[in-house]
Structure 1
Amino acid sequence: MKEVISTTTFFTLFFTLHTIVSWVFPFLNLGWLLAWLLIVVISLIISKFLYEWLERQEEGYLPPKRRNLLFFSIVIVGLSLVAVQYWNEYKEKPFSEVLAHYSYPDQIMINPYEGTDPITNKSTIDDLMNFLSQYNVQKVKNDKGERALGGHELVWDNDKGLNGPAVVMVLISEDNIWVNFDRYEVLNGPIDIEWVEQSLTIN
């Protein structure tokens, strides 16, 4: 049983630390290689310590019933963390909550492949962010990583990335908003595209 408990602990710790790092540092880029290595090492050390402790206590005050209770407690904690992460990722939320994972833009590129000038006016940026924040969205699965054709694309640097600024790409259509390759369905839409177009012409 101690082998099962320590193995379960390793995977529970791995997914827990992975979740925490993902929430705190959403853009690690190549830094994820180092992060994964550290997460694996930390999980192994703690699991090995638990295994050795269980081995010492096997004949002491940790009878089979308590070992089973410890095992199922670890499993329940792991499953709860996975369930909470899934619920938080796919629950209905204001779009402002999605944007909160990224730094606030100092300037915004509009449809960058068309060679348009960026928006640098703070008042225009604030109006645009406030306008988008009024919509409630829900993340939907986008297994193929596809993005809609057309719409209006907003691009800005995200300084919350650890390995230099990460690029945030927001693609707006009437019924969906893509943030990078994550698709969010607009629940209280459709989005007023005419207002967006008018706003993008003011700089």
Structure 2
Amino acid sequence: MNKSKLLFIIITLYLVVFTFFISKSIYLFFTAHIEKWNSVIDIIAIVILVVIVLPITIFISEKLTTSILKRKLAEKKIYYTLITVLMFIPIIVFSVSMLNEYKTKSLKELLEYDKSSFEAVFVNHQKMTEDHQAVKKMVEFLSQYQVKKINDRDWNSDVSKETGFMIEIRTENEVVMASIYENQLMSINNNGDYYKVVNGPIEIRWVYDYIKGFDNF
């Protein structure tokens, strides 16, 4: 494979990934703010991505490749250094991402939400309150517990013997959901990721005693 083709492929991959994340953010923004969003708009969005955005991305990749090769970067030593760096950046980013994903963190981090657009909180599918202060108190209580992500095979699917609850924190743009048990939990927002409680068990009784003070409970 010659220099230009290899460089073009690497730059294109970088730009495609970048374009994907930007497009996804724009898509999620509009779906959250347009009430009558439907499948027709989804199809239009896909067509725009394939027919307009991707060709522009490839065009930019080609121009960048040409520009780089016209400069001293085309010299053998500099060229291979550049290629090596470009190839290792995703590996480093992925490694750091994995380390961050599997590190011990506060349960509160899994319940992060936009406080400025808070609407209500539901427990076990029942509306608990629209009082933001009440929710903050519950989240602060849960923040004392540390959790760590685990693999699917380490998740104990038999939760019939465990006390737990489901929490839904609703804002204008999203719903933060988690099924929380004494020694493990599932974060529904994070692709259904599983976590173990490092300093458990979680005092589930406190949660149920707390929500008893609200009308629906």
Q: Same fold (TM over 0.5)?
A: yes
Q: Does 1:9 align with 2:22?
A: no
Equivalent runs, 1:25-64 vs 2, <5 Å: 25=25, 28=28, 34=45, 37=49, 40=54, 43-57=57-71, 62-64=74-76
Determine helix, strand or coil for the equivalent of 1:202. coil
Does the 8 A contact of 1:12 with 1:78 survive in 2? Answer: no
Shift of the 173–61 alpha-carbon distance from structure 1 to 2, 3 Å rule, reads: closer
Percent of aligned pairs with the same residue?
A: 23
Q: Does the CA contact (< 8 Å) of 1:18 and 1:39 recur in 2?
A: no
More helix as a share of residues: 2
- The 1:4/1:137 distance shift into structure 2, 3 A limit, reads same
- Mark the runs of 5 or more structure 1 residues left unpaired by the alignment: 160-164
Q: Match of 2:39?
A: none
**Residues 109-161 of structure 1: per-residue CA shift (max 9 Å, x gap):** 1211xxx4422344432210101111111222348x997756211113243xx
Tell me by how many angstroms 1:167 deviates.
Answer: 2.3
* CA gap 1:146/1:175 in 2 versus in 1, 3 angstroms: closer
Aligned to 1:137: 147
1:62-101 equivalent positions in 2, closer than 5 A: 62-100=74-112
- CA contact under 8 A between 1:95 and 1:135: conserved in structure 2? yes
In the other structure, the counterpart of 2:184 is: 176
Query: Alignment partner of 2:147: what SS?
Result: strand
Q: 1:9 to 1:155 in 2, by over 3 A?
A: same
Which residue of structure 2 aligns with residue 153 of structure 1?
Answer: 166
**Given the alignment, which residue of 101, 104, 109 partners 2:122?**
109
Q: Distance between the aligned counterparts of 2:27 and 2:146, measured in 1?
A: 24
Change (3 A) 1:43 1:148: farther
Give the structure-1-normalised TM-score. 0.74
Residues 182 and 40 of structure 1: CA distance in aligned 2, closer, same or farther (over 3 Å): farther
1:51 CA displacement: 1.8
* Structure 2 residue aligned with 1:162: none
Report the TM-score when normalising by structure 2: 0.70
Q: Which moved more, 1:165-174 or 1:64-73?
A: 165-174
- For residues 11-39 of structure 1, the C-alpha deviation after alignment (integer angstroms, 9 at most, x for no partner) is 234445656787xx599299698599387
Inter-partner Cα distance in structure 2 for 1:42 and 1:133: 45
Indicate if the aligned counterparts of 2:11 and 2:65 stay in contact, CA closer than 8 A.
no
